[in-house]
Chain A
């Protein structure tokens, strides 16, 4: 039986500034179960960073509430909220380490806050530095570390107080792909080993695909879609989801050519598999950017926009090939910028 650990109930957040009002979140409802790795994805400015900050009440919602386990955060005093925060750790895009403290003392910081003794904190900090693979760096200062190492220190610091939830706010966005992968591996390991529920805020679909079990898509402050990652990926329903999924699918077999042509099929040309034959003939792929059928004067007309390979010689040959089959290829502008 799946057990809810975070319940976001009707959360709205409005920012009022001197000259305008911004509705960052509009009536968000979301349940995150214990042990999930839950991705919250959206374009920048969609409100996802605000949403994650309502989970530990760094941002108080204008309406609605967040319930962590059984605790309704909107009903707690500041002191009680601080107590909850020691169980809901957070890591950030900018790492946010104390620059004037050593790595070891940075990890100890979260334990100082909960009043752990210095000796005890140091032992635990060393243990966690081993978990994140930085035991040799305990005396170093953050300025001496790479981005990936800094994030590892931040993770160790976050784990030091034995939190039940780990919030990651664009935690890998400042890192290169290889480092991102290793940090995600570490998060996966932590989730499996300690059973910590992880909430990942990101604008990168690859991050979600890599590690998340569930995903919620936030678009312009609204929860557009949510569900298991495979469902959302294979059957995206909302426009925002389609946009995100489409982006990633297209980027997989990436084509560099920018020359496009439009061809029109009429009834007599649709019996021969023209495109497939052409691809086989020249041994080069084309990308179908658009395919459409239109009813023009009672006759079905098929339309297609093809992205041609980068090689100009092949482009010309393909155009000649299509002309030969009476398809009248027309030059088309690159539609994807």
Chain B
């Protein structure tokens, strides 16, 4: 049961994070590019994206989970279990990722971007060959933080029958007073976050060529 729980937790976390990056990464890029002083400044687009991200960011995850039940049902056919948790997790993570990506890309030295422009690079080249590559360490570090947060959210979804370790902890530890099972799940959750953190940091350090 616990092994299955670990599997479910990992599936929820990874699948929603990946899907959320498909939304959040372009969103984050768009925020940086359209911002004042960006490559293609556009006040209106920036403001709209900014507001959308802020609104979704400010809804507490547990509320969001319930709020989007119709959408979840439409997308995956059910609102509980691993599959039912992925849409709300994705929706919660995407704007968070957008902000993370935005802050990583903002760290890229403006001089390097100017140099690329002076060589005749177009906006796409600058985004993909300069900004993302130069910011890769920061992007990886932030992805690690995102994974940890999504993992935490996935456990929260246990409260409404979301599957995974959080679900086990609530059902056995809370409803049945089986403290031992709850402790095991807590230890496992801590371990998972630790492992992700170590791997993330290691990759980030390995690919960073700024201080070798």
Contacts and interface: CB of A to CB of B under 8 A. Distances in A.
A262 interface: no
B209 A143 contact: yes
A181 to B, nearest CB: 24
B111 A94 contact: yes
A102 B209 CA distance: 9
A100 B210 contact: yes
A319 interface: no
A202 interface: no
Contacts of A58: 114, 117-118
Given A98-B134, A114-B120, A92 B209 contact: no
Nearest to B112: A96
For the residues of B in contact with A, the DSSP-based class is helix
Contacts of A113: 116, 119-121, 125
B134 A89 contact: no
A141 B208 CA distance: 10
Interface string A140-151: 011110000000
A96 B117 contact: no
A96 B115 contact: yes
Interface in B103-143: 109, 111-112, 114-122, 125, 129-130, 133-134, 136
A98 B125 CA distance: 13
Count chain B CB atoms within 10 A of each CB in A83, A92, A113 and give the residue with the most: A113
A83 B122 CA distance: 10
Interface string A83-94: 111101110101
A278 to B, nearest CB: 54
Size category of the A interface is: 20 to 34
A101 interface: yes
A278 B134 CA distance: 65
Contact of A92 (B111, B125, B210): B111
A215 interface: no
Contacts of B133: 98, 100-101
B211 A143 contact: yes
A98 B130 contact: yes
Interface in B66-125: 109, 111-112, 114-122, 125
B111 A96 contact: yes
A82 interface: yes
Given A100-B133, A109-B129, A90 B118 contact: yes
Interface string A61-104: 00000000000000000000011111011101010111111100
A78 to B, nearest CB: 8
Contacts of A86: 119-120
Contacts of A101: 133, 209
Centre residue among B112, B125, B212 by max chain A CB count within 10 A: B112
B115 A90 contact: yes
B119 A89 contact: yes
Contacts of A114: 120
A142 B111 CA distance: 15
Contacts of B136: 100
Contact of B112 (A98, A102, A110, A141): A98
A255 to B, nearest CB: 39
Contacts of B121: 82, 113
Nearest to B117: A58
A83 B121 CA distance: 9
A259 B66 CA distance: 83
A144 B209 CA distance: 9
Nearest to B126: A113
Nearest to A112: B129
Given A58-B114, A92-B111, A112-B129, A99 B210 contact: yes
B71 to A, nearest CB: 39
Interface in B7-57: none
A271 to B, nearest CB: 63
A56 interface: yes
Nearest to A93: B111
A236 to B, nearest CB: 32
Interface in A194-233: none
A167 B114 CA distance: 13
A161 interface: yes
A97 B112 contact: yes
B212 A141 contact: yes
B119 A85 contact: yes
List the 6 closest pairs (A to B, CB-CB), nearest first. A96-B115, A85-B120, A90-B118, A82-B120, A86-B120, A96-B111
15 contacts: A58-B114, A58-B118, A86-B120, A89-B118, A92-B111, A96-B115, A97-B115, A98-B130, A99-B209, A100-B209, A102-B209, A109-B116, A109-B129, A144-B212, A167-B118
Given A56-B118, A97-B112, 6 more contacts: A85-B117, A99-B109, A100-B136, A100-B209, A143-B211, A157-B119
Interface of A: 56, 58, 82-86, 88-90, 92, 94, 96-102, 109-110, 112-114, 141-144, 154, 157, 161, 167
Interface of B: 109, 111-112, 114-122, 125, 129-130, 133-134, 136, 207-212
